[in-house]
Amino acid sequence: MKKFFDVSDIGDLNAALAEAFQVKKNPLAWKSLGENRTIMLVFFNSSLRTRLSSQKAALNLGMNPIVLNIGQDSWKLETQMGVVMDSDKSEHLREAIPVITSYCDIIGIRSFAGLTDREFDYGETILNQFIEYGSKPVISLESATVHPCQAFADLITIEEYKRKARPKVVMTWAPHPKALPQAVPNSFAQWMNRADVDFVITHPHGYELDPKFAGNAKVEYDQFKALEGADFVYAKNWSCPGVTNPADYGKILSKDMSWTVDDAHMAVTDNAYFLHCLPVRRNMIVSDSVIDSPSSLVIPEAANRVVSAQVVMKRMLEAL
């Protein structure tokens, strides 16, 4: 595996899940695979889970993880091509990428969408520069449009807890005070479209996800109707993807608190489990009563981030 970005990069999902459960059962079984190998984990943005789970997965495989926080541990990096570098950014990605990748065998990148230039974000301009100029396998640790390590962990969690062969999985938009990227819902939709689930997306008008990720998923604008009979409720906020109106890209179109997932929402489901990638704003995205209830899987879901990362790194090491 040379890159982990799209669901297609993981290949057959059943095989990936089987491998994930092997890794989960015996995480140290491949301890010698990463001996004398280094993974560079490059963060342009904050993280708790991705940072720690990636390091833990690398250590389980015997690798040396190095974390670099761009702009804090390093120079600030210029990401735009052809600019006069007279701002506070001292180094260009064109030099930084080959330097960073010369020190490692695998590289993971976190670089959120800026939410101002849709073409720049949806072109995955930063991640693609690491692929083009880096010559080492690249893992998206949440880039502008995707968060595949999260979606894989979500799928593992659904597989572990499902009570039906083909569960109903509903991804619901929920309100948030800040404009957030679409990477998590994009990847979740992309992965659920490939999984053996009945997948429904619900959000207010204007929040339609890019068709590249939403595919043929059913969209139901009535949140309560969408949640009827759900086995899993996946809550997430995202800003406007700019599909119906490009001028609205990255904007907050609604802060409607009636979309906050609470007991009334969960009551119309089939005793559903609650999922969220975290970090979560309590009583904005989800009520205390739901996230603190036995149906909340947010902690095991976060724990599975080690498993998903380890499968991806394991495959990359095996292909070196």
The site for ligand CP (CB under 6 A) is made up of 47-50, 142, 150, 277-279
Taking the complex as a whole, the smallest distance from the CB of residue 153 to ligand CP amounts, in Å, to 8
- Which residue, 41 or 106, has its beta carbon nearer to ligand CP? 41
User: Shortest gap between Cβ of 150 and ligand CP (angstroms)?
Assistant: 5
Output the smallest distance, CB 277 to ligand CP, in A: 4
Q: Quick one: 49 or 315, whose CB is closer to ligand CP?
A: 49
Give the shortest CB-78-to-ligand CP separation in angstroms: 24
Closer of 150 and 287 to ligand CP (Cβ): 150
Q: Which is nearer to ligand CP, 49 or 118 (CB)?
A: 49
Nearer to ligand CP among residue 50 and residue 129 (C-beta): 50
CB of 41 to ligand CP, least distance (A): 11
Minimum Å gap between C-beta 139 and ligand CP is 13
Measured between its terminal Cα atoms, the distance across the chain in Å is: 9
Choice between 33 and 278, CB closer to ligand CP:
278
